[in-house]
Amino acid sequence: MKVLVVGSGGREHALCWKIALSDQVSRVFCAPGNPGTAQVGENVPIDAGDLDALLAFALENAIDLTVVGPEQPLVNGLGDRFRAEGLAVFGPSQAGAMLEGSKVFAKEFMFRHGIPTAASHTFDNREDALSFLSSGDAQVPLVVKADGLAAGKGVLICEDLESAESAIETVMGERAFGEAGDQVVLEDFLSGVEASIHIITDGKSYVILPTAKDHKKIFDGEKGPNTGGMGAVSPAPGVDHSLLSTIESEIIRPFIRGLQQDGIEFQGTVFFGLMLTENGPSVLEFNVRFGDPESQVIFPRIESDIVPVLASIAAGNLSGSLALRDEVAVTVVGASVGYPGAYKKGVPIEITRDLPNSATLFQAGTKTADGKLVTAGGRVFAVTGMGQNVEDARTAAYDGIGCVRFDGMVYRTDIAKG
Ligand code: AMP
Ligand code: GLY
């Protein structure tokens, strides 16, 4: 089989790495990929947003399966366009992708199908949103969410009404996220521990992937601004068998029933961002793609070949199951100092010695310049360590991190700790 992976981050390196292990696969292409994906497959210089060029490439090269990394091409209709040409694609329809592409759509879906989520109010203009704040009905902390995709920056947690006011101003007044701020969701703040639960589904049946927990803040001790994720661990601490079956009955099954009742085609992954509250699990958001850096701990924990299962989903009839490795995975992200704000690019990266066998390096914001590996993004790479327990997996990941260096490299020292 020839497989095309769309995207260029650490998630896509992990995907290509796992797909390349399949003995059913003869070639793995990645568009546009990074130097890491080029080690396990072949990079194709097509931007992940260029649907015409992706489609032409898949047709010309008789690609048997396309696996989509990021959400934007799905929201732009990649799934429907590929399927209309008879191509097998792992990635939902545009309607399905709206579950991530519009927070308003996602909240309405959850309310309609009885999926637990924070109470919220939606506004399509700034004046109404501001008058809700002054109505006395708004409780703080309050979460202000731009409706559309905002590169992970559209969620603002506000401790008091003044900051909620300025968040509404940012989203709807200054239009900091453009059209994504046409509508705003004001949502109750939930406390608890977060967990990332992924399923893969053909819209009828599903397989639950290994659970994971992401560390979103830039600094140790969950301090500083939110990032795309600075590290992850799988399994997710606190998600035992019994909690997972609650998540299945209260969230996953109603979600699948909801897709069917609403006639939404969905062939891909759903990543439920959950808050485990004292009243049970509650959905913060749906994603229609694999998490990053969750992928860097999920795929290494899957023992089976994932390609036949992904291909069966793309064909519309999920079959097969996945055997998991009874090990813990921890991934630690090496980032450019300044991230998630401004940072330097083009800094040479050195691999000073071989990584331990129990660690794998996944590249993200890297590129090759004059034959040398240099930085090209905020999150530059992640090292995943595997072990019999969290401590061993952490040791492997941090030993691995110690083998890579570049000027201005920063990483959290407390991933999966405590
Ligand atoms: P989202 O993109 O909706 O997942 O939001 C990004 C992050 O904001 C989440 O991972 C949480 O850390 C936080 N968040 C979102 N909604 C809430 C909420 N209702 N209560 C507390 N934290 C939230
Ligand atoms: N790590 C969180 C995400 O991929 O959205």
Instruction: Mark whether 247 and 348 lie in a shared domain.
Output: no
Q: Are residues 334 and 393 in the same domain?
A: yes
Of the three residues 114, 148, 182, the one that is the final residue of a domain is: 182
| Percentage of residues in the chain having pLDDT higher than 90 | 95
pLDDT in tens, 258-311: 999 999 999 999 999 999 999 999 999 999 999 999 999 999 999 999 999 999
What pLDDT sits at residue 327?
98
Domain count, the chain: 4
Give the span between the Cα atoms of 248 and 260, in whole angstroms. Answer: 17
Q: Which residues pair with 226 in a beta bridge?
A: 217
Query: Ligand 1 centre and the CA of 198: distance in Å?
Result: 17
Answer yes or no: is the C-beta of 331 below 6 A from any ligand 2 atom: no
Average pLDDT, the chain: 96
Q: Which residues contact 290 (CB under 8 A, 6 or more apart)?
A: 11, 15, 69, 198, 269, 271, 298
Same domain, 338 and 387: yes
| Max CA separation in the chain (angstroms) | 62
User: What is the mean pLDDT of the segment spanning 12-24?
Assistant: 98
Q: Which domain holds residue 374?
A: 330-410
- Scanning the structure block, which residue is given the tokens 């072949």? 42
Task: Give the tens place of pLDDT for each residue, 104-158.
Answer: 999 999 999 999 999 999 999 999 999 999 998 889 999 999 999 988 789 999 9
Element (H, E) at 107: helix 103-112
Strand 404-405 relative to strand 366-369, pairing? unpaired
Q: What is the pLDDT of residues 299-346, one digit of tens each?
A: 999 999 999 999 999 999 999 999 999 999 999 999 999 999 999 999
What's phi and psi for 195, nearest 5 deg?
-145, 150
Q: What's CA 275's distance to the chain center, in Å? A: 16
207: tokens are 């397989």
- The answer to pTM > 0.75 is yes
Q: At residue 225, does pLDDT exceed 80?
A: yes
Q: Are residues 162 and 195 in the same domain?
A: no
For ligand 2, atom 4, which residue shows the shortest CA distance?
291
Same domain, 145 and 70: no
Rounded CA-CA distance 328/26 in Å is 30
What pLDDT does residue 343 have?
A: 97
Least distant ligand from the CA of 229:
2
pLDDT at 199: 98
Beta bridge partners of 362: 382
Atom of ligand 2 nearest to the CA of 290: 4
* Closest residue to atom 2 of ligand 2, CA basis: 291
372: exposed, middle or buried (Cβ count in 10 Å: 0-12, 13-18, 19+)? exposed
Distance 397 CA to ligand 2 centre (A): 19
Residues in contact with ligand 1 by the CB-under-6-Å rule are 118, 143, 145, 155, 157, 187, 189-190, 194, 216, 273, 284-285
Residues 45-94 pLDDT 10s:
999 999 999 999 999 999 999 999 999 999 999 999 999 999 999 999 99
Which amino acid is located at 233 in the chain?
A: V
Is residue 69 in contact with ligand 2, taking CB distance under 6 Å?
Answer: no
Residue 365 has pLDDT above 90, yes or no: yes
Nearest in space to 256 (alpha carbons), one of 205, 290, 316: 205
Residues 159 and 230 in one domain: no
pLDDT of residue 111: 98
**Which residues are CB-neighbours of 168 under 8 A, at least 6 positions away?**
126, 129, 130, 133, 144, 184
